[in-house]
Amino acid sequence: MDTFLFLIFAAIAVGCGVIVVSQRHPIHSAISLIGVMGSLAVLYLLLGAEFIAATQVLVYAGAVMVLFLFVIMLLNAGVEPPGGKSWPVRLLGIPLLVVLLGVVSFLIRGWIPVKETVVFGSFTGGGPRDVGGALFTEYLLPFEIVSVLILVAILGAVVLGGKEID
Amino acid sequence: MNFYLLTVLKTAVVAAALLTTLAYLQWIERKVIAHIQIRMGPYRVGPHGLLQPLADVIKLLTKEDLIPAHVNKFFYMLAPFLAVSLALISIAVIPFGPEIEIGGTRTWMQLTDLNIGILFLLAISSVSVYGIALGGWASNNKYSLLGSLRSAAQMISYELPLGLALAAPLLMAGTLSLREIVYAQSGYWFGMIPKWAVFQMPAPQVIGFLIFLIAAFAETNRLPFDLPEAENELVAGFHTEYSSMKFASFFMAEYANMVTITAVATTVFLGGWMAPFPAEYGSRLVPTAVLGLAGALALYHGFHPLRPRDRRTLPVVGVVFLVLAGVFLLPAVQSWLLPLFWFLAKTGALLFLFIWVRGTLPRFRYDQLMRFGWKFLFPVAVVNLFATALLVALFG
Amino acid sequence: MAGVPLAWYLILSAILFALGIAGFLFRRNLITMFMSIELMLNAVNLSFVAFSYKFGRVDGQIFTFFVMVVAAAEAAVGLAIILAVFRTRKTLAVDEIDSLKY
C-alpha cells in the first residue's frame, strides 16, 4: 500500500513537474505546479508530517499559487514565443540533465542504505502540537525574524504594486 | 465489522444525505424567500412544490451540454468538477455525533477524525478558489473573467478573518481535532448555560462567531457579498458560459459550501451535537415536542384546509411528523438520534439565517466589500484573537 | 511491513529540483521562471521532510515551515516586481528586459 501510494503520487509530481517546465502557457504551468504541490502534500502525509502537509496546501497551493494565477490573469500573459536558444543548449541540455540526475541518484543510493524504508505511521512527531512546541521554544528567534521578514515583504509588495506616484 | 466495509457504508449514507439536503436546501431557499416577499414559491410540482428539486435535476441533466467554441476546453471542463469535488470533500471531517453502537458495531458518527481537522478545512477552502477562478478564465469572456477575479480576491481577503475567528475558540479547546473541540464544549455553567465556545469562559466568542458568520457569507459568495455573480453588473459572473450539468455543479458547490461552513460554525462555536440545556431539564423531550407540535399543526390545517388540495396532503405530513416524534421517544435510538437532532437543528438554524439574510440585505459595492474586509473585519478579528489569548493565558 | 526506501524520496526530490533548474534555464517568461524557482523550493522541502523522518526529529519540518514562509514573502515581492516591470516594459520576456546592459 505504501509503495503503491508513493509511486502514484511521485508519478503525478514528476508528470506535473515536466508540464510546468515544458508548457508555453503560464496558466498551464501554474495549474501543474499546484498538482506538484498537492502530490507533495500527500507524500508529506506518508512521511508523518501532518502539519506540514496541511500548511503546504494552505500556504503554497492556497495562497502563493493564487497570487501567481492572479498576476497571470491580470497581465493576460499569453503563450511564450519559441525562444532563440543557442545550439549547445538545444543539443546538450536534456542529456546533461539526465546525466546529472543519474549521478545524484547514484550518490543517494550509495549513501542511504536500501533497507532503510519509510513505513507510514511509524513517525508520529509531525502533528501540530510537536511542530508548535519546537517552533515556539527552540526556534523562537528564527520565527520572530521570519515574521519581521514577512512584514517587510508585505510593505515592499504594497509599495511596488501600489499606484505610481509621478 | 470490517473497517473498510463500515467506512464505505458510512460514506454512502453521508453522501446520500448530503446530496438530498443540497437539492432540498434550494427548495427551502426558494420557499423562504418567496414567503419573505409574500409570494408562494414553487407550488406546481408535487404537493407544495416538494418535487421541484427532482424536476430541476431532470431539467439540468437533460439539457444540451454546450461547449462554446472560444473556450479553453480542458480548464473549462476541469473547473466545475474541481469546484464541486472540493466543496463536497470537507464534510468528511465534520462530527455529527458521539460514538454509537448499532447492532453490536461501535462507530463514530463522523467519517474520519483528523488531528489537523481545522487546518484541513482551511486548506480545502483556500484551494476551492481555483474552481471559480479557472472557470471564469477558461470561459474566455470578459464578464466571467471579471467575476472570477472578483471572487478570487474576495475569497482570499475574507479567509484571513475567517481563519483568525476560528483560531480563537481553538485556543480555549487546545486541539485541532473537530471531535475533541466538541468534547471541550461539553458541560454546563451553573447547570444551565452550555459551555459552547460562544458562552465559554474566560473568553466568550460572541464577536468571533459574528466575524466568522460575516466572513462565511463572503466565502460562500452569498448575498450581501455575491459580487462574483452580480446579475446586473456581470450577467451571471463566472458561470455565464456554463450550461447543463456543469452549471449544476457550480450551483451544487455553492450550496455544499454553505452546508459545510454552517456545520463548521456549529461544531466550533455552538458545541456541535451538545444539547443547549441539560437532560435533567428535559432536553430529551424537545425533539418530540417540536415534531409533535409540527404534526399537530399540519393535521389541524389539513382538517381546516385553505386550499382543496391540502385536505389530502397535510394529514399525511402530520402523521409523518407524529411518527417521527414517537421515534424520538424510543430509548434504543435516542442515544444517536438526539445528538443528530441537535446538530441538524443548529446547522439548520444557521442555514435559515443565510437564506434570511439573502432575502433581506442588498448587495455591497465592490470597494465597500474590500474596505469592510480589510479595514474593519480583519483588525477586529486580530483584536479578538489577542484578547482571547490574553484571557486564556491569565485565567485559562 | 514493507515500506518505500527512503532513497526514493530523495531521488524524487532530486528529479523535481533538476526539473526546476531546467525550467529556470529554458523558459524565457518571467512568471514561468519564477514558478520554476518555487518548484525547486518544493523539491528541497521534500528532502527536508524525508530527513526529518530519517532522524525521527521534527527539526526538518520546522525548516520546511520556514522555507514556506520565505517562499510566500518572496512570491509577494517577486510578483510585485513583475507587475512593476510589466507596467513600464509591457512585456514578460526576460530577453527584452535588458536595458541595464547598455
ipTM attached to this prediction: 0.86
Cβ–Cβ gap C14/A101 under 8 Å: yes
Count the domains in chain C. Answer: 1
Assigned C-alpha cell, B363: 448587495
The distance in angstroms from the start CA to the end CA of chain A is 62
Task: Report whether pLDDT(A80) > 80.
Answer: no
Tell me: the pLDDT tens digits for C21-77? 888 888 878 888 889 999 999 999 999 998 888 888 888 889 999 999 999 898 888
Nearest chain B CA: its distance from A124 CA (Å): 11
* B152 DSSP β-pair partners: none
Using the beta-carbon criterion (under 8 Å), do A36 and C16 form an inter-chain contact?
Answer: yes
Output the pLDDT for position A11. Answer: 92
Q: Say yes or no: B134 contacts chain A, CB-CB below 8 A.
A: yes
Separation in Å, CA B24 to CA B10, B226, C50 = 21, 21, 47
In chain B, the N- to C-terminal Cα span, in Å, equals 42
What is the mean pLDDT of the segment spanning B74-84?
A: 87
Q: Which three cell numbers stand for residue B253?
A: 458547490
Chain A contact set for C3 (CB, 8 A): 2-3, 117-120
Residue A84 reports pLDDT greater than 70 = no
Q: Is A6 on the interface with C (CB under 8 A)?
A: yes
Mean pLDDT of A59-79: 83
pLDDT, chain B, mean? 84
Say what the pTM is: 0.86
The arrangement of secondary structure in A1-82, i.e. its CATH architecture, is Up-down Bundle (1.20)
Count chain A–chain B contacts defined by CB atoms under 8 A: 61
Nearest-by-CA chain C residue for A126: C58
Which has more confidence, B102 or A15?
A: A15
Q: What pLDDT was estimated at residue B113? A: 81
How near does any CA of chain A get to the CA of C11, in Å?
6
Question: Residue A58 and residue B122: Cβ atoms within 8 Å?
Answer: yes
Which secondary structure element, helix H or strand E, spans residue C4, and what is its range? strand C4-5
Put simply, the answer to whether B119 touches A73 (Cβ < 8 Å) is: no
Residues with Cβ within 8 Å of C3's Cβ and at least 6 positions away in sequence, in order, are A2, A3, A117, A118, A119, A120
Give me the pLDDT at residue B204, please.
Answer: 82
At C17, which CATH number? 1.10.287.3510
Q: Tell me, what's the pLDDT at B283?
A: 76
**In the predicted structure, residue B128 carries a pLDDT above the cut 60:** yes
Residue B133 has a pLDDT of: 85
Domain that holds residue C16: 6-96
- Segment B290-343, tens digit of pLDDT: 888 888 888 888 888 777 777 777 888 888 888 888 888 887 777 778 888 888
Please indicate, yes or no, if residue C101 is contained in any of the structural domains.
no
B67 touches chain A (CB under 8 A): no
> Taking 80 as the threshold, does the pLDDT of residue B210 lie above it?
yes
Nearest to A58 among B123, B134, B148 (CB): B123
Q: Please tell me which of the candidates A18, A108, A161 has its beta carbon nearest to residue C10.
A: A108
Q: How confident is the model at residue A36 (pLDDT cuts 50, 70, 90)?
A: very high
Contact C18 A117 (CB under 8 A): no
Contacts of C62 in chain A (CB under 8 A): 131, 134-135, 138-139
Between B285 and B389, the more confident residue is B389
CB C45 to CB A40 under 8 A? yes
Measured between CA atoms, the residue of chain A closest to residue C59 is A134
C-facing residues of A in 77-136 (CB < 8 A) are: 77, 80-81, 83, 85, 89, 93, 97, 100-101, 104-105, 108-109, 112, 114-120, 123, 125-126, 130-131, 134-135
Do the Cβ atoms of A80 and C8 come within 8 Å? no
In DSSP notation, A70-138 reads: HHHHHHT--PPPPP---HHHHHHHHHHHHHHHHHHHHHHHHHS-TT-EE-TTS--TTSHHHHHHHHHTT
**What is residue B105's predicted lDDT score, i.e. its pLDDT?**
76
Mean pLDDT on B35-50: 83
CB B258 within 8 A of CB B25: yes
Q: Is the pLDDT of residue C15 over 60?
A: yes
**Which residue's C-alpha cell is 515556539?**
A136
Interface contact flag, C31 A164, Cβ < 8 Å = no
Contacts of residue B129 in chain A, CB cutoff 8 Å? 62, 66
The label of the residue with cell 501510494 reads: A5
Residue A162 reports pLDDT greater than 80: no
* C82 CA to centre of own chain: 17
Of A55, A97, A161, the CB nearest to C18: A97
pLDDT, residue B230, reads: 66
Using the Cα atoms of residue B325, residue B330, residue B333 and residue B336 in order, give the sign of their dihedral: positive
CA distance B289 to C67: 57
Q: What is the mean pLDDT of residues B66-90?
A: 85
Contacts of C31 in chain A (CB under 8 A): 26, 29-30, 68, 71-72, 75, 77
Q: Given CB atoms, is B93 within the 8 Å cutoff of chain A?
A: no
Closest residue in chain C to residue A155, using alpha carbons only: C77
Average pLDDT value for residue range B81-102: 85
Closest CA in chain A for residue B125: A62
Task: Answer whether residue C19 is part of any domain.
Answer: yes
List of chain A residues whose C-beta atoms are within 8 Å of the C-beta of residue B118: none
Name the residue with higher pLDDT: B353 or C84.
B353
Residue C1 pLDDT grade (very low, low, confident, very high; cuts 50, 70, 90):
low
Q: What is the pLDDT of residue C41?
A: 92
Q: Among partner residues C12, C54, C66, which is closest to A142 by beta-carbon distance? A: C66
DSSP class per residue in C19-35: HHHHHHHH--BHHHHHH
**Phi (first) and psi of residue A91, to 5 degrees:** -80, -45
> Does C65 fall in a domain?
yes
